[in-house]
Structure 1
Amino acid sequence: MSALESLRRVAAEQSRDRLPLIGAVASVVWLALVALFAWLGSGPKAEPSSWLVWLMGVALPLGLIWFGIWSARSLALLRQEADDLRASLHQMRLQPDDPAEPRLHPRRPPVPQPRPAPERRAAAPAPDNAQSRLDIDPAPIPELTPTELFLALNFPDGPDDHEAIRCLHLALGDPALARLIRAAQDVVTLLAGQGVYMDDLELPETDPALWRSLAGGARGAEVAGLAVIEDEAALNAATGLMRKDEVFRDVAHHFLRHFDRLLSRRAETDDAVVLSVLGESRSGRAFLLLAQASGMLTRADS
């Protein structure tokens, strides 16, 4: 809840608390007017019917006053509940399923067209005996298409991003990808805690050939063109975390290793353009940022 919402809630509660006081003041004023009316000699006559009419004339306005107070208080409570519900729904829309990135509707880079899945050999028929069936290896995990891998590495934008959620579940079924994605979630979340958001990083177009070189093990001047993060505040925050926070440093190096292995693995089946597009995902942006902060990537002019 923001500070402004907190102030509004306090003001609404104070307004509701003042309603009984207003009712009490109105009741006292009315009774004072009745007493003044009676004292001036215009009170009820001795007949019982006159007393009854007089008492009703006194009690009915009091009942109307407190009925109005009760109605106003109930209306204020209902309005507050409606505001709380509206705020909760708004917060649910802003928060993605996965807590890795707290932003909504980021600028999504172009997604490569999926390639046809490689042809797989049909599994051999299982022998009849039960023991042989138990010894059969489990079916291999299908390789994600470039589009599916990009969406998994970019994380869902929210609970309505069903396609990204589906791709994320597919990726988590691969043990190697699952380790990479969990590490990416950790570093992106920790960076967001320092005010560094992947969607805010300006990422100019890079040469796909550099990504293939990086996947092949090239370092230093050969891949200096990938050191494209120029946000000094983000670089300083990431560098400071890696120097001062041992937990973040371990998670960051773990993530860098797994993302580098992913690039090497995908370089065997995908072209360089796919590798460069994967680098534009939120996980890819975190990789470039941490690679520069750790010295894995350095600018040519530095």
Structure 2
Amino acid sequence: MIARIASLSHRDRITTVGLTITGIWLFLVALFWLLSPGDPDSGGGVGFLVSVAGIVLPIALVWLGVAQARELAVLRAETDDLRHHLSQMRTPCPDEDISESVRMDMPEGVRMSAPEPQPARPAPVARPRPPAPTRAAAPAPAQPDPAEQAEVDPATLIRALNFPDGPDDAEAIEALRQALRDKANSKVLRAAQDVVTLLAGRDVYMDDLPPEPTRPETWRRYAEGGRGSAVAALGGIRQPDALEIAAAMMRDDEIFRDTAHHFLRHVDGLLARLVPKLDDLQIAVLADSRTARAFMLLGRVSGVFG
């Protein structure tokens, strides 16, 4: 609605231009008929039809162009509004204890008990959800100091990739803070939070998408550069509704498509450097994290896994 209101003045200018061109054309047609010599037997019915077509078709083309320009103005305004919202969403708020993605992935009871954040944009309305094991995404942490960047051990990074289970999950919150001190890890975690938040806005929650078990060798093969059918088992998210919504967002939403590709590129780099350090049990825990579930879902609809 805000985007459409913002485009009204531009649309009015387009309408004014269309009316002006139409008026000029009708004036020229009237002038031609008044000044041209009349010859009632010159064309008959065919001549009359040609004359009508010559008058009406240019006007129709003008207003077709006006309609397309008006729709383009609306689309541009909506795109600018979405880009503004996304940039606000990616900027951490210092007063925010829990990010929007945390609240959207929490079951109803946990969301009611958690402190209410003050988001940069109105939060999507969450649907009622049945009781389920309480798991949530990440709180919005403070911006890491580059001087404090340090290598994070694999167990801590895996815990951070799953995000805390709520504001009282002190161990996971500390793991997330440690992981964010590393620049590469910070990019992955923030890209994952963007993706989870956008999917939650369409009622696609990572807690509702348990993946099919995948052998650790498949993850190692992907980390070594394997793609297509060799790693097809990684597309373990098979819930039809979630796949349909994610595919539609990738196809129709330019903002989400760019965010998803950004996320997939960073996860590729993360897996390449992290998976070789993990044993089979750690890989299984990583594969069940919220970040990995989002990766499986978007990788499947993007054709990464064949």
TM range (shorter): 0.5 to 0.7
- Counterpart of 1:144? 153
TM-score, L = length of structure 1: 0.54
Alpha-carbon displacement from aligned partner over 1:174-193 (angstroms, at most 9, x marks no partner):
11111110110010011011
- Counterpart of 1:227? 235
- Counterpart of 1:283? 291
- Whole-Å separation in 1 of the counterparts to 2:294 and 2:239: 13
- Counterpart of 2:22? none
Deviation at 1:90, TM superposition (A): 6.7
**Residue number among 190, 208, 220 corresponding to 1:212 in the alignment:** 220
SS of residue matched to 1:268: helix
Aligned ranges 1:47-86 → 2 under 5 Å: none
Q: Which runs of 5+ in 1 are unaligned?
A: 1-86, 109-136
Deviation at 1:105, TM superposition (A): 6.7
Aligned ranges 1:24-173 → 2 under 5 Å: 91-93=112-114, 106=133, 141-146=150-155, 148-173=156-181
- Counterpart of 1:194? 202
**Which 4+ residue blocks in structure 1 deviate beyond 6 angstroms?**
87-90, 94-99, 102-105, 137-140
Deviation at 1:229, TM superposition (A): 1.3
Distance 1:272-1:213 versus aligned 2 partners, 3 A rule: farther
Give me the identity figure in percent: 48
- Whole-Å separation in 1 of the counterparts to 2:118 and 2:110: 14
**Residue number among 251, 265, 275 corresponding to 2:259 in the alignment:** 251
SS of residue matched to 2:277: coil
Distance 1:177-1:89 versus aligned 2 partners, 3 A rule: closer
Alignment root-mean-square deviation, CA: 3.2
- Whole-Å separation in 1 of the counterparts to 2:250 and 2:111: 34
SS of residue matched to 2:237: coil
Deviation at 1:145, TM superposition (A): 3.2
Distance 1:207-1:95 versus aligned 2 partners, 3 A rule: farther
Count of matched residue positions in the alignment of Structure 1 and Structure 2: 182
Q: Which runs of 5+ in 2 are unaligned?
A: 1-107, 136-145
Q: Which amino acid aligns with 1:141?
A: A
- Counterpart of 2:84? none
Distance 1:140-1:247 versus aligned 2 partners, 3 A rule: closer
Alpha-carbon displacement from aligned partner over 1:202-243 (angstroms, at most 9, x marks no partner):
222110000000111101111111221110110011111111
- Whole-Å separation in 2 of the counterparts to 1:88 and 1:238: 26
- Confirm whether residue 268 of structure 1 aligns to residue 289 of structure 2: no
- For the pair shown, the structure with the greater C-alpha radius of gyration is 1
Q: Which amino acid aligns with 1:178?
A: S
